[in-house]
């Protein structure tokens, strides 16, 4: 397991305030956090940094989260991917199964933090 | 402490005795003590009336002596008079510390006996100094403890500074103490302890106080400028110290301590003025004070932020509560509509309305009155009144139904009491307010203000209500308004909100439809009963000639009075699995296993002479299959004698399952889609708000708190926007959204979008007409109208048909015609086609055409349909707008 302060997390969400909140929360946990507003932007960051974990929103304009997850997984099979979405019905979507975790957005961020911790073990 | 005091006094007395002892041997001797800070010598227990004072230069020379010895020309002063004398100088030393000197004036040498005594004096002075310092340290320590307590616990700023100053004054043993606060280059005397007239009231922040503030200052009265500056009465001040007061690296002013108290018994201090050590004490206190001030300010700030946050939270909760209520009311409305639609009896419909309005599980009005229209007198007569108390009683009598609509149906079986007071007739003719209700079918919301303004028109109604606020809702059937509903809100003081009024308007539409349906049903019943009378057996047989009966899809069985089969068709043979020749002549009871409860039913029909129809009926033998069953009596022509019955069974299994499936799936899909969208829209802001509120409790940084609050505000605004959108379906568009639009171009855009869909169905789309015909209005809403009509036209067309759209100018209106070659729409359907929720299709909400009508009428236009065997045409007319008018004006001008 990597040291916590060396773990790099990429947040992909088209909602600016959501990104801000996640960044604040995860940085406080000691991670190095990058954020991207779209799938395209996320790929650029991913190519220039060694990302360990990516939390991805599914519904985004342009490239959607499932497509992005597929691309990341192809480039780097050991990457940990979490889908963080406001919809719960994607949980049954086969293409969502490429992710390691599936979380429905809620006010409680502990689920997200715990699942990241679990994935990094 | 007392012991320390007496010890010091005792030692002081010992020292005095020792010095006087030496003077008995060597009378002309002076003892000088050393002021450590200023390295100055001053005489102790003066030899003459006034003490000798030693100038700085001379002090230096004498202190330079390593041992005792004879010194010539020692320069001293007594009251500014210079005296030069020779003498033997003996340094007073204890453990290598010089504490003073002793001069024997005029002597060249002193004997050993005196030297020993002088050593003893040196020791005594040193001891006294140590004792005094020790005592002082203990005293200060106790006061410092009190100060710490104040600095750490006081939460009031004024009190903090006041208490700190008083304690510091005691610690430093100063008489006067003041605090100057700096604001915009002006120093104001903020607080003074024990010294109201000593200090200047305000100072201008220039060079002199600037020096204090840049690093502190202490001096005796020597600096005349500064003394004049700070003190009104300089005679009273001989020494002071001043130190800057910084909070968070911000200069906030300075503190001044002046005049050390003298002649303190328990103290042995060489000098009486304030020194560097005192300055350090003051500086220390101020550093600690600044931390305490900072603490109080941060606490205050934090309290404010917390208060702000709790307000935000509250408003958020209110919003959610409001939405919840709204959903709850919509649900009730839905239940009421459901119940209304399931009844075709006008009286029951009216009872349901009254009960649903006043029921605590319904809309919860205090009282509802139904007034019936009497057309010939142009008046309304109160018929029924239901109050919430009455309603509560009913609810107690009935079992509690989980389903409100079921409850309404059950309760509506009960008769209501008639309105007792007669002659409360309300005439609407000539009453503008009521005429508006009746003729324009508008709801009337009566508030206190309206009452004051239109009392003349309202007094008739006030005879049946004493509420300060009420609503009058027109109820209309086919022929227009048939009655009024008067509603009193629950609490007298509460104003009905606009959302509640909107709900009532929605409900009134639903009631109108139900009333109309009930009227229509009544008419159909009348017609069918008259038909029944005219019918005779010979007609019947002529009509259903043998071959027609045989080729029918339905199974037909004819029985006589004794229930013996006399005739049947092919379907019947298949159903009963026997040939016709075997069936005819047999008693129908032989087929009881298959026909089940149809047999007793047939017997009933024969006995009563009344026909029976069962829709979507299942029979045990044919499991899973669904039938429409009709049993009709055979009545002999002319004398009403019943000869038997005809049993018709129509297998509708396929249709039944298709219909139920389709309806269920569509409803679920629409509901799922809608709630998923709303959930997504709401979940995002709620996640952000929740997350940030959680973080707020952890974060101390003011800047962060501000940033969070800003985001919270934005997200709450967004939630509000979503709520408005959900509630805003009936909102009229604002005039600002209006602009001039080319009708032809707009139609063209829509047509291009639907070309593919039409081609799939092999329907030809065709647009004709003039460009540059403009209307003024909301382009997006009008596009919705065109889309709905184009879509409808395509759906109505048969494959191979065509849809034509014609744009033209007609009677000063922009006119769009949508013509399709589909089947004729029957007259009674075309009458109702623009009503909300009316649909003949098995899919769709039935709102499409009603939305079109609303939008077109909002624009001051109208929409019409006419249909014949060859084609169906929808015509939309809109007032010409914008460029049209300008162009016309232009062309008129050029004509002249």
Instruction: Write down the pLDDT at residue B396.
Output: 72
In angstroms, the CA B896 to CA B894 distance is 5
Comparing B383-392, B700-709, B721-730, B772-781, the range with the smallest average pLDDT is: B721-730
Q: CB-hemisphere CA count at 13 Å for B583?
A: 22
Contact B429, B460 (CB under 8 A): no
Average confidence (pLDDT) over A48-59: 91
Average confidence (pLDDT) over B175-202: 82
Instruction: Write down the pLDDT at residue A116.
Output: 92
Average confidence (pLDDT) over B336-342: 81
In angstroms, the CA B632 to CA B605 distance is 7
Instruction: Write down the pLDDT at residue A47.
Output: 92
Q: What is the pLDDT of residues B418-430, one digit of tens each?
A: 766 656 788 888 8
Q: What is the pLDDT of residues B1-28, one digit of tens each?
A: 677 788 888 888 999 999 999 988 888 8
Alpha-carbon B858 to chain mean position? 32
Instruction: Write down the pLDDT at residue B346.
Output: 81
Contact B121, B18 (CB under 8 A): yes
Instruction: Write down the pLDDT at residue B239.
Output: 83
- CA-nearest of B661, B657, B646, B645 to B616 is B657
The structure tokens listed for B824 are 């004729």
Instruction: Write down the pLDDT at residue B412.
Output: 82
CB contacts < 8 A, A to B, total 50
- Taking residue B709's Cβ as centre, other Cβ atoms within 10 Å add up to 16
In angstroms, the CA B470 to CA B385 distance is 14
Instruction: Write down the pLDDT at residue B187.
Output: 82
| Closest chain B C-alpha to A84 CA, distance in angstroms | 11
Instruction: Write down the pLDDT at residue A2.
Output: 59
The structure tokens listed for B149 are 């307590």
Comparing B8-12, B153-157, B204-208, B358-362, the range with the smallest average pLDDT is: B204-208
| Contact residues, chain B, for A86 at CB < 8 Å | 679-680, 683-684, 687
pTM over 0.95: no
In angstroms, the CA B509 to CA B838 distance is 12
Average confidence (pLDDT) over B882-888: 46
| Residue B874 predicted with pLDDT over 70 | yes
- CA-nearest of B789, B780, B869 to B833 is B789
Instruction: Write down the pLDDT at residue B288.
Output: 92
The structure tokens listed for A99 are 């992710």
- Looking at beta carbons, which pairs linking B151-155 to residues 24 or more positions away fall under 8 Å? B151/B288, B151/B289, B151/B291, B151/B292, B152/B292, B154/B292, B154/B296, B155/B296, B155/B299
Contact A82, A54 (CB under 8 A): yes
| Contact residues, chain A, for B690 at CB < 8 Å | 106-108
**Residue contact B693–A18, C-beta within 8 A:** no
Instruction: Write down the pLDDT at residue B895.
Output: 37
CA distances (Å), B25 to each of B5, B21, B110, B545, in order?
A: 31, 7, 10, 170
Average confidence (pLDDT) over B870-877: 91
Average confidence (pLDDT) over B78-97: 88
Contact B444, B471 (CB under 8 A): yes
**Residue contact B695–A21, C-beta within 8 A:** yes
**Residue contact B676–A89, C-beta within 8 A:** yes
B533 burial via Cβ count (<10 Å: 0-12, 13-18, 19+): exposed
Contact B535, B501 (CB under 8 A): no
Contact B163, B148 (CB under 8 A): no
The model's confidence at residue B359, banded by pLDDT at 50, 70 and 90, is: confident
| Closest chain A C-alpha to B711 CA, distance in angstroms | 7
Instruction: Write down the pLDDT at residue A38.
Output: 92
| Residue B586 predicted with pLDDT over 80 | yes
**Residue contact A17–B693, C-beta within 8 A:** no
Comparing B216-230, B367-381, B736-750, the range with the smallest average pLDDT is: B216-230
Classify each residue of B658-679 as buried b or exposed e, where b means 16 or more C-beta atoms within 10 Å of its C-beta: eeeeeeeeeeeeeeeeeeeeeb
Residue of chain B whose alpha carbon sits nearest to that of A111: B691
| Contact residues, chain B, for A27 at CB < 8 Å | none
| Closest chain B C-alpha to A108 CA, distance in angstroms | 6
The structure tokens listed for B37 are 């800070």
Instruction: Write down the pLDDT at residue B221.
Output: 54
In angstroms, the CA B715 to CA B726 distance is 17
- Three-state SS at B335: helix
SS3 content of chain A, % helix, strand, coil (to 5): 45, 20, 35
The model's confidence at residue B547, banded by pLDDT at 50, 70 and 90, is: low
The model's confidence at residue B339, banded by pLDDT at 50, 70 and 90, is: confident
Gyration radius of chain A over CA positions: 13
B446 burial via Cβ count (<10 Å: 0-12, 13-18, 19+): buried
Nearest to A24 among B680, B689, B695 (CB): B695
Q: What is the pLDDT of residues B303-325, one digit of tens each?
A: 999 999 999 888 888 888 888 88
- Taking residue B578's Cβ as centre, other Cβ atoms within 10 Å add up to 15
| Residue B197 predicted with pLDDT over 80 | no
Cα B155–Cα B138–Cα B262 angle in degrees, nearest 5? 95
B825 burial via Cβ count (<10 Å: 0-12, 13-18, 19+): middle
Instruction: Write down the pLDDT at residue B829.
Output: 78
B58 burial via Cβ count (<10 Å: 0-12, 13-18, 19+): middle
Of B513-527, B670-684, B824-838, which has the strongest mean pLDDT?
B513-527
**Residue contact A17–B711, C-beta within 8 A:** yes
| Closest chain B C-alpha to A72 CA, distance in angstroms | 25
- Three-state SS at B562: coil
Structure letter (DSSP) for residue A92: G
């Amino acid at each position: 397991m990597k040291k916590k302060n060396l773990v790099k997390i990429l947040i992909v969400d088209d909602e600016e305030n959501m990104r801000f909140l996640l960044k604040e929360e995860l940085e406080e946990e000691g991670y190095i956090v990058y954020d991207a507003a779209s799938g395209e932007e996320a790929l650029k960051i991913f190519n220039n940094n060694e990302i360990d974990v990516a939390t991805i929103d599914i519904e985004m304009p342009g490239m959607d989260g499932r497509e992005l997850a597929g691309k990341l997984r192809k480039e780097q099979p050991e990457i940990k991917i979490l889908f963080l979405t406001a919809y719960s019905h994607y949980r049954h979507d086969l293409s969502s199964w490429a992710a390691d975790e599936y979380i429905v957005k809620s006010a409680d961020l502990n689920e997200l933090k715990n699942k990241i911790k679990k994935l990094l073990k | 402490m007392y012991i320390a005091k007496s010890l010091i006094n005792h030692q002081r007395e010992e020292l005095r005795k020792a010095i006087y002892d030496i003077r008995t041997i060597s009378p002309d001797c002076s003892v000088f003590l050393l002021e450590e800070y200023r390295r100055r010598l001053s005489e102790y227990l003066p030899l003459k009336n006034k003490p000798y004072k030693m100038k700085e230069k001379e002090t230096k020379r004498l202190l330079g002596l390593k041992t005792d010895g004879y010194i010539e020309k020692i320069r001293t002063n007594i009251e500014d008079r210079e005296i030069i004398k020779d003498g033997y100088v003996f340094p007073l030393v204890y453990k290598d510390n010089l504490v003073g000197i002793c001069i024997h004036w005029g002597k060249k040498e002193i004997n050993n006996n005196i030297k020993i005594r002088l050593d003893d004096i040196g020791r005594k002075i040193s001891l006294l100094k140590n004792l005094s310092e020790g005592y002082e340290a203990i005293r200060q320590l106790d006061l410092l403890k009190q100060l710490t307590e104040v600095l750490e616990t006081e939460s009031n700023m004024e009190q903090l500074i006041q208490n700190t100053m008083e304690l510091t004054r005691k610690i430093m043993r100063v008489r006067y103490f003041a605090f100057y606060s700096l604001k915009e280059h002006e120093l104001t005397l903020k607080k003074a302890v024990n010294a109201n007239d000593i200090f200047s009231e305000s100072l201008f922040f220039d060079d002199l106080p600037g020096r204090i503030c840049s690093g502190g200052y202490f001096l005796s009265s020597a600096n005349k400028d500064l003394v004049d500056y700070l003190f009104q009465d300089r005679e009273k001040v001989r020494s002071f110290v001043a130190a800057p007061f910084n909070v968070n690296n911000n200069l906030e002013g300075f503190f001044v301590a002046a005049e050390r108290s003298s002649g303190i018994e328990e103290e042995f201090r060489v000098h009486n003025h304030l020194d560097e050590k005192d300055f350090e004490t003051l500086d220390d206190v101020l550093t600690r004070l600044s931390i305490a001030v900072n603490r109080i300010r941060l606490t205050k700030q934090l309290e404010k932020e917390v208060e702000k946050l709790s307000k935000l939270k509250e408003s958020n909760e209110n919003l959610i509560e409001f939405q919840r209520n709204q959903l709850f009311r919509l649900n009730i409305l839905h239940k009421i509509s459901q119940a209304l639609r399931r009844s075709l009896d006008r009286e029951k419909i009216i009872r349901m309305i009254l009960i649903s309005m006043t029921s605590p599980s319904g809309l919860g009005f205090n009282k509802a009155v139904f007034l019936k229209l009497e057309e010939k007198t142009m008046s309304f007569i109160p018929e029924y009144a239901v109050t919430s108390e009455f309603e509560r009683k009913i609810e107690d009598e009935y079992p509690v139904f989980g389903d409100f609509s079921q409850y309404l149906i059950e309760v509506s079986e009960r008769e209501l009491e008639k309105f007792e007071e007669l002659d409360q007739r309300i005439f609407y003719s000539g009453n503008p307010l009521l005429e508006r209700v009746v003729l324009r079918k508008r709801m009337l919301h009566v508030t206190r203000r309206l009452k004051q303004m239109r009392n003349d028109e309202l007094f008739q109604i006030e005879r049946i209500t004493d509420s300060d606020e009420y609503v009058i809702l027109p109820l209309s059937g086919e022929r227009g308004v048939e009655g009024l509903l008067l509603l009193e809100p629950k609490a007298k003081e509460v104003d009905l909100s606009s959302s509640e009024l909107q709900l009532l308007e929605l409900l009134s539409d639903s009631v109108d439809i139900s009333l109309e349906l009930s009227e229509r049903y009544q008419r159909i019943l009348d017609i069918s009963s008259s038909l029944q009378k005219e019918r005779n057996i010979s007609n019947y047989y002529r009509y259903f000639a043998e071959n027609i009966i045989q080729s029918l899809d339905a199974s037909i069985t004819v029985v006589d009075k004794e229930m013996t089969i006399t005739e049947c068709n092919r379907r019947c043979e298949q159903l009963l699995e026997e040939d016709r020749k075997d069936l005819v002549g047999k008693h129908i009871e032989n087929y009881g296993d298959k026909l089940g409860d149809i047999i007793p039913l047939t017997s009933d029909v024969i006995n009563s002479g009344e026909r029976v129809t069962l829709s979507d009926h299942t029979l045990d033998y044919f499991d899973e299959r669904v039938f429409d069953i009709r049993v009709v009596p055979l009545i002999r022509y002319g004398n009403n004698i019943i000869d038997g019955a005809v049993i018709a069974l129509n297998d509708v299994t396929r249709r039944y399952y298709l219909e139920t499936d389709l309806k269920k799936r569509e409803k679920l899909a629409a509901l799922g889609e809608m709630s998923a969208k709303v959930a997504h829209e709401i979940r995002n802001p709620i996640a952000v708000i929740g997350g940030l509120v959680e973080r707020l409790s952890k974060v101390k940084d003011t800047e962060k708190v501000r940033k969070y609050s800003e985001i919270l505000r934005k997200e709450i605004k967004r939630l509000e926007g979503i709520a408005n959108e959900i509630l805003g379906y009936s909102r009229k568009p604002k005039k600002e959204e209006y602009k001039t639009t080319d009708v032809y171009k707009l139609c063209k855009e829509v047509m291009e979008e639907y070309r593919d869909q039409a081609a799939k169905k092999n329907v030809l789309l065709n647009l004709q007409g003039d460009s540059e015909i403009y209307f003024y209005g909301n382009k997006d809403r009008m596009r919705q109208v065109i889309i709905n009509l184009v879509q409808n036209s395509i759906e109505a067309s048969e494959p191979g048909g065509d849809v034509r759209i014609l744009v033209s100018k007609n009677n000063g209106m922009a006119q769009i015609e949508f013509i399709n070659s589909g089947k004729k729409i029957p007259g009674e359907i075309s009458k109702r086609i623009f009503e909300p929720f009316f649909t003949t299709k098995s899919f769709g909400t039935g709102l499409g055409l009603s939305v079109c009508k609303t939008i077109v009428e909002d624009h001051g236009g109208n929409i019409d349909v006419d249909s014949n065997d060859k084609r169906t045409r929808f015509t939309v007319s809109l007032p010409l707008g914008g460029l049209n008018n300008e162009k016309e004006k232009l062309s008129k001008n050029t004509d002249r």
